[in-house]
Homo-oligomer: A and B are copies of this chain.
């Protein structure tokens, strides 16, 4: 099933921007009358029928607006320091979008390997993963902020900080309460500094372990995301 993203999707006749039109008509070679699916990235999926196979402003008729199956009553937020290799952060974005994530918060910290992030490129990765996994809600990718600023932001839900330390005995999977919003801070490749951990604690973040395995930053972020999802999924 081909899914296209149109933020201003609505029941009735709509036209696609040039890039999407080109993809529909030139790449996928769709003809008038062909059917596909459209997501507005804001919780709705639509059935679409191509009514004008124009290569620059293709038009379609949208019907059957419905909420996607990815609408949840809890929110999953992961904060991560972009990795040295961009492809690792991008891989996390793709996988977390497939598994289900609501917010990605990017931060730079004392041991960060990367001080600038190409958020526009990150958003493109998220959009394509959303389309590929037939999601109706687009995860929010926020601009990078400093760790200090991040931990002082308000968050309506449980707040955790995950890093490698033998003193951290509690596990995310044991402390997270099913049905609640959760924000998990994932340590950068150089891990958090003692001062950062202390600052996070002062601001209400609970130290947790993701288990005994030594995980790369992007793996830890996906594991944290899946942990929250799985606990909500379990009967």
- Taking Cβ atoms with an 8 Å cutoff, the residues of A that contact B are 69-70, 91, 95, 98-100, 132-134, 171, 173-174, 211-216, 219, 222-223, 226-227, 229-230, 233-235
Contacts and interface: CB of A to CB of B under 8 A. Distances in A.
Contact of A95 (B98, B134, B219): B219
B174 A212 contact: no
B98 A213 contact: yes
Contacts of A222: 95, 222
Most buried by B among A69, A95, A213: A213
A62 to B, nearest CB: 21
Contacts of A227: 226, 230
A133 B98 contact: no
A219 B95 CA distance: 7
Given A98-B216, A216-B98, A226 B223 contact: yes
A174 B216 contact: no
Given A134-B214, A212-B70, A214-B133, A230 B99 contact: no
A213 B70 contact: yes
Contact of A98 (B219, B230, B235): B219
A138 to B, nearest CB: 15
Contacts of A226: 223, 226-227, 230
A69 B173 contact: no
